[in-house]
A = this chain, B = another copy of it.
Amino acid sequence: MNEKVSSKEKLIITASKLFQQQGYHATGLNQITKESGAPKGSLYYHFPDGKEQLALESIQLTTEFVARQIEEGLKQSDNPVIAIQHFISMIADRFQKEGHQQGVPIAAVALETSLISDELRKGCQEAYRKFQNLFAQKLVSGGFVEERAEQLAVVINSMIEGAFLLSFTYGDSRPLRLVAEEIPHVLRMED
């Protein structure tokens, strides 16, 4: 029963955190190995393609983590409006509590790497698609026609990502909270 965290897992977990906080280029492999406790020799054994491969798998871990948070938040209500508002409030609360030292998931890596690595660009694209699909599903189960649900999911995704970026830069959760308040009108269900 090998239940302890493997070196590979430790590397991915640490890298995910650092890439989110510092971005791709500011995060060195030496820092990742040092903070994870795994040696550099292990890094290139488990990730023979180097930093890019490690970043890709880190993005995928972050994607799963965020997706689970979205699912958790959305199951709070059958009403898509209330559910999505609840999820955004969740983000805003956590953002406020943790002193916004965590960065914005995916976004930094997406902006830094999309033009230099198609692999990483696709990884980030896949992340956003997953988030989008979760919102779309919720809207469909709330009565929206599928095509319309997908369109609205893109808009909701944009609002959240943009508000997250603004809240991060301002150091203030207000943009996230204001966006949450407008969800009913985007979904055309007056409150």
Of the residues B111, B112, B158, B179, contact of A163 by C-beta under 8 Å: B158
Let me know if B25 and A128 touch, CB within 8 A. Answer: no
Interface residues of A (CB under 8 A from B): 21-26, 101, 103-104, 107-108, 110-112, 114-116, 121, 124-125, 128, 151-152, 154-155, 157-166, 168-171, 174-175, 178-179, 181-182, 185-186, 188
New A-B pairs, 10, CB < 8 Å, besides A26-B112, A110-B165, A165-B165: A101-B115, A103-B115, A108-B112, A111-B111, A154-B166, A154-B179, A155-B175, A155-B179, A162-B164, A186-B186
CA distance A28 to B24 in the complex (A): 15
Of the residues B21, B152, B157, B165, contact of A161 by C-beta under 8 Å: B165
Contacts of A188 in B (CB 8 A): 185
CA distance A108 to B164 in the complex (A): 13
Let me know if B25 and A168 touch, CB within 8 A. Answer: no
Let me know if B128 and A169 touch, CB within 8 A. Answer: yes
Instruction: Say how far A46's CB is from chain B's closest CB, in angstroms.
Output: 25
CA distance A121 to B151 in the complex (A): 33
Residue of B nearest to A108 (CB): B111
Given A108-B108, A111-B23, A111-B104, residue A128 in contact with residue B166 (CB < 8 A): yes
Instruction: Say how far A141's CB is from chain B's closest CB, in angstroms.
Output: 21
Let me know if A111 and B115 touch, CB within 8 A. Answer: no
